[in-house]
A and B are shown apart, each in its own frame.
Chain A
Amino acid sequence: MTTASLINPDLLSHGTLECNDTPATRRFLTEFLGIDVIRPLPEAQYLSKGGAWTVVCVRVEGEQKEQGPQNRFKLAVASAAEVDAAHVAATKHKDAYGIRRIEGVEERNGIRSFRLQDMNKVWWEIANLTQKHYDDAFARGDYKH
């Protein structure tokens, strides 16, 4: 798509989530999910795993918004076995990391994945995805209507 648009951004740069316990959230993100986290501001932590984009974790007072699984962040792991291992780890350490819900592992079109809801009521999906999955989807173009 190269037609004129109202703006021409340099980067699809970020998403956001809420937390109300910054240190506990960071332990979950780094120790359990393996995400890189920095805290540049008292009110926010920035999450990343390579790339120029980030997910901003904003500290809120009181209760966080309850998200549904339709609004989630996806983490790519290298293999289907790693998805299964992550599911086992989530189940084992559910209480320790404040994980609220863990759904079953599913497989669709060769992508194995599961979803969990964290202590902040935020949903995560862990899947054996690679960027090639998206490269191929964009290269194939739209499905035939």
Chain B
Amino acid sequence: MNAPAMTQAKPASGATSHVTPTALISGTFVTRDIARARRMCEGLLGLECVEPEKGVLLIRERGHEAGGKLAGEPYWVLEAREVTQVEVPQEMLNHWGVFVSSQAAVDEAFEKISAQQKEFGLGRVQKPRFRYGSYAFYFVDGDSNWWEIEYRTPELLYTSLRQKGDQVDPNAP
């Protein structure tokens, strides 16, 4: 789409934005089988899950529990909701990702996940490859949700990239 005329919409003087969020706190997706989604998130992806109410699954990385190595640190949450039908099937460009600690860990993950593809009800598991400096592969779960297992060198971690700022003109198309 063409860029809308923005000038008259800019925040009032002194404000940096109309909304002032404290966090980009979570992302959501749907599943037709919350038990299956939980098995995958815990048993395959190694994430922590809880079902606070029927039909809702919360997911975060491990270690944030009281006394855990990440206790008190901020984290991102995925919220899965159980539905009878996935109304908007997802595609690879709409995926969730986890970081692992090495290139070898990506290869090992690929071997293990490929070997247990049926047990976890997965669809396609793509082969690892280098892309934009990271090494990663994708797979799709039984609800069309895509997942990426990725390794990034320290200089390519998001926190490092933020310190560098824009590397491409933000006004370029």
Give chain A's interface residues, CB within 8 Å of chain B: 1-3, 5-18, 20-24, 26-27, 30-42, 44-55, 58, 60, 65-68, 70-78, 82, 86, 89-90, 93, 95-98, 119, 125-126, 129-131, 134-135, 137-143
Given contacts A38-B162, A76-B23, A98-B1, contact A53 B76 (CB under 8 A): yes
Least distance between B45 CB and chain A CB atoms (Å) = 6
Q: In the complex, which range does the number of interface residues on chain B fall in?
A: 35 or more
Question: B130 interface residue, CB < 8 Å from A?
Answer: no
Q: Which residues of A contact B74 (CB under 8 A)?
A: 50-51, 131
The reply to whether B44 and A5 contact each other, CB–CB distance below 8 Å, is yes
Which A residue sits closest to B157, measured CB to CB? A52
Taking CB atoms and an 8 Å cut-off, the chain B residues in 51-67 that contact chain A are: 51-54, 58-62, 64-66
Let me know if B93 and A2 touch, CB within 8 A: no
Q: CB distance A126 to B78 under 8 Å?
A: no
| Residue pair B88, A16 in contact (C-beta under 8 Å) | no
Judge if B164 is at the interface, Cβ distance under 8 Å. yes
Complex alpha-carbon distance, A82 and B31, angstroms: 31
Contact with A along B1-38 (1 / 0, CB 8 A): 11111101111000011111111111111100000000
Query: Do B47 and A9 have beta carbons less than 8 Å apart?
Result: yes
Q: Are A141 and B21 in contact (CB under 8 A)?
A: no
Determine whether the beta carbon of B162 is less than 8 Å from that of A50. no
Minimum C-beta distance from A95 to chain B (A): 7
Chain A residue nearest to B115 in the complex (CB): A6
Counting chain A CB atoms within 10 Å of each CB, the highest count among B46, B87, B91 belongs to: B46
B159–A1 CB distance below 8 A: no
> Beyond A8-B46, A53-B76, is A21–B112 a contact (Cβ under 8 Å)?
no
Minimal beta-carbon separation of A28 from chain B (angstroms) = 9
A42→B173 CA distance, assembly (Å) = 8
